[in-house]
Amino acid sequence: MSITIDIAAADYIRDLGDGLIARWSTAADTENIAQAAGLVFRDKEEDPLNERLVNAVKVFMSGQIPIMGPGDYAIVEDRNKEGNPVIAGICLQRMEWYYEDIPFKMGRPEVVFSDPAYRNRGLIRILFEFVHARSAAEGRLLDAITGIYYFYRQFGYEYALDLDSGKGVYLPSIPKAKEGEAELYTLREATGEDLPLLQAIYEQRDRSTSAVSTHIDQGYMRWLVEGPDHSASSSTRVIVDAQGQIQGWFSTLSTRGGRGVNVWNLYTRPHLNLQAMLPVLLRALQAYGQQLPTRKPDTEAFSEIRFYLGQKHPVYEALGSLATITIPAYAWYIRIADLPRFIRHIAPALEKRLLNSPVEGFTGELKLDFYRGGLRLDFKEGRLVTVENWRSTVLNYNADGGFPPLVFFKALLGYRSLAELRQSYPDAWVNNEVLFNTLFPAKPSWAFPL
């Protein structure tokens, strides 16, 4: 063990025995981390190095992106082997999300890997200690990760936010342009000059319609448009009308890995006629997809366009019967280490929900039993005055509701309604359903990943 005892500190080192050392990365580790991750992220042992992931790790470690730097990988290296190879790692990325209109800092562990020869030793659990400690030290109220089925439940995470649901259109369904008529809109690659307008269009959206959404600051927007290696991986494109004015923007990829062109983060100016714009956009995306290079020689033929815009989006309504492809949702894994602190931070949103509701001006307690702990909320005339951890007693049991551990996250973030939770969890219950549903309504979210 090093002299430094702060696990979040850059110079913290932990001796794991047998020559294994856990520590934070430096820029000098970039190549070793990239190669190790590229070897792990393969389908078969005989497959070549995953060059796309190698390049992604190098970008993350470059210091040129706003979400992390070269010192933000927690790694394990084997000092008994020549070259001290990196055999496990997790990076910590940083973003800011909104809970309705309330911003909060969140941490995102990503590109988690461990060499198969070193598995079942608890190395990933140790590295999660590192990233969770640094996230907490930076005042991040929530951690979220996208990833493989089940795995991250082991580290205090629960599926609690929509991810990647959407709608799609088959190419033969795209309406043909009228002969001799010029298109109302065209697409082009976004440039640095477009940045202020793209950010303004994004900020014009109504955040109150989403339980959770992503904050994009100037640095993040610049990275989306001009970031390193974007020409080889992703593309931000703008929708331009006949007068040359930008009416919207979206993210897509610069290569095609499957049968579709995928669209994320589609934002348009208010009062735009989406029904008139979408056929033009579909035709432009079809032309774009036809010239995209494929990642592998055996990639399926281009046959569809997919919009990954969350559970609900105006584009889906405007597409109407054209959208015959339904893309089932996956979910973000969510971890909230200090639940009272998070709820105190978002208290203004909860208090706002009580206004003009059947329980406006509510005075009283809401005590929720999580069976291994619990939560007590105390309201006075519609104001949340106390939030604290709470535990029920065996005798004189007086909980107002109960949820299995972590399941409450789903209600808190609008991912599932109380009725939906009760269908899946017989041990989820609430006495005052009107109060609970007012405070924690089901709402769509769009916390988009990189």
CATH number for the domain harbouring residue 262: 3.40.630.30
Whether 4 is covered by a domain: the verdict is: no
Q: Look at residue 54 in the predicted model and tell me its pLDDT.
A: 95
Domain boundary among 296, 331, 366: 331
Whether 157 is covered by a domain: the verdict is: no
Are 383 and 362 part of one and the same domain?
A: yes
Q: Look at residue 231 in the predicted model and tell me its pLDDT.
A: 45
Domain boundary among 315, 331, 347: 331
Domain limits for position 133: 13-145
Are 352 and 321 part of one and the same domain?
A: no
Whether 137 is covered by a domain: the verdict is: yes
Are 128 and 108 part of one and the same domain?
A: yes
Are 192 and 309 part of one and the same domain?
A: yes
Whether 221 is covered by a domain: the verdict is: yes
Whether 376 is covered by a domain: the verdict is: yes
Whether 239 is covered by a domain: the verdict is: yes
Q: Look at residue 233 in the predicted model and tell me its pLDDT.
A: 74
Are 347 and 429 part of one and the same domain?
A: yes
Domain boundary among 263, 296, 331: 331
Are 191 and 323 part of one and the same domain?
A: yes
Q: pTM for the complete prediction?
A: 0.93
Are 321 and 381 part of one and the same domain?
A: no
Q: Look at residue 427 in the predicted model and tell me its pLDDT.
A: 97
Domain count for the chain, please give it: 3
Are 320 and 344 part of one and the same domain?
A: no
Are 269 and 376 part of one and the same domain?
A: no
CATH number at residue 358: 3.30.1050
Q: Look at residue 450 in the predicted model and tell me its pLDDT.
A: 60
Are 323 and 185 part of one and the same domain?
A: yes
| Residue ranges for the chain with pLDDT beneath 70 | 1-4, 228-232, 449-450
Whether 161 is covered by a domain: the verdict is: no
Rounded Cα distance, 444 and 406, in Å: 19
Whether 127 is covered by a domain: the verdict is: yes
Are 303 and 368 part of one and the same domain?
A: no
Q: Look at residue 228 in the predicted model and tell me its pLDDT.
A: 60
Are 313 and 359 part of one and the same domain?
A: no
